[in-house]
Amino acid sequence: MNPVRKLGVVAGCLLLAGVMQSQEKSKGAEDKTSSAPTPVQIVALDECDPTTFNAKIGPDFCKNVALGAQTTFDELFAKAAAGTPDPNWDFEPDVLKIKKGTPIIVTDQGGEPHTFTEVKEFGGGFIHDLNGGEPVAPECEGGFSSLDVAKTRILQGSQLQVTGLSKGEHHFECCIHPWMRVTVEVK
Ligand SMILES: [Cu+2]
């Protein structure tokens, strides 16, 4: 091999080594990204009837595209009072098992606001007529005049992120519709 060709082969090898090294590097970077915990999703659902809800509470309160699945304002209260609250007001899933450090993202895909409030024990919310006789959970007391409740509010179409949960069992409920409940087990 003449010296010039030999140099070419060496340069080629070096180039290849360089490419392999940079591939190795980007693989390493990818691994780092994928080891960061992927957030888990919870959705808040409801089927508020825009006509009756907005007549009672105000324009644009309920922004639900109900397509025939709506519950009227009075029906919602009647069902809750009877102890059979409307199952379409719901967090999904109801039970979540996560590793410590995994963020939770709650998205309100219903038509009206909800809260995702951590409580020590499940109880009623701050609208007494929706509690079916259950005593108010202390964490929900005061409604939105309480900063702690207001901070956990989720408006229609928006998200709330929950991070930093300690290991063990955590209870979350909606302080408006207290039958909307989630248990999170952190391992
Ligand atoms: Cu709610």
Question: Would you state the pLDDT for residue 5?
Answer: 56
Tell me how far the alpha carbon of residue 42 lies from the centroid of ligand 1, in angstroms.
13
Predicted model pTM: 0.80
Q: Where are the beta strands (DSSP E) in 19-74?
A: 40-45
pLDDT tens digits, one per residue of 4-22: 555 554 444 444 444 444 4
pLDDT tens digits, one per residue of 21-38: 444 444 444 455 567 789
Question: Would you state the pLDDT for residue 3?
Answer: 53
Question: Would you state the pLDDT for residue 67?
Answer: 84
Specify burial of residue 122 (Cβ count, 10 A radius: 0-12, 13-18, 19+).
middle
Q: Where are the beta strands (DSSP E) in the chain?
A: 40-45, 90-92, 95-98, 104-108, 114-115, 117-119, 153-154, 159-162, 168-173, 181-186
Tell me how far the alpha carbon of residue 90 lies from the centroid of ligand 1, in angstroms.
8
Tell me how far the alpha carbon of residue 187 lies from the centroid of ligand 1, in angstroms.
27
Upper half-sphere CA count for residue 123 (Cβ side, 13 Å): 15
Which residues contact residue 149 at a Cβ distance below 8 angstroms, ignoring those fewer than 6 apart? Answer: 115, 117, 126, 139, 140, 142, 143, 175
Tell me how far the alpha carbon of residue 82 lies from the centroid of ligand 1, in angstroms.
18
Question: Would you state the pLDDT for residue 13?
Answer: 46
Q: What is the mean predicted confidence (pLDDT) over 88-104?
A: 97
pLDDT tens digits, one per residue of 149-173: 999 999 999 999 999 999 999 999 9
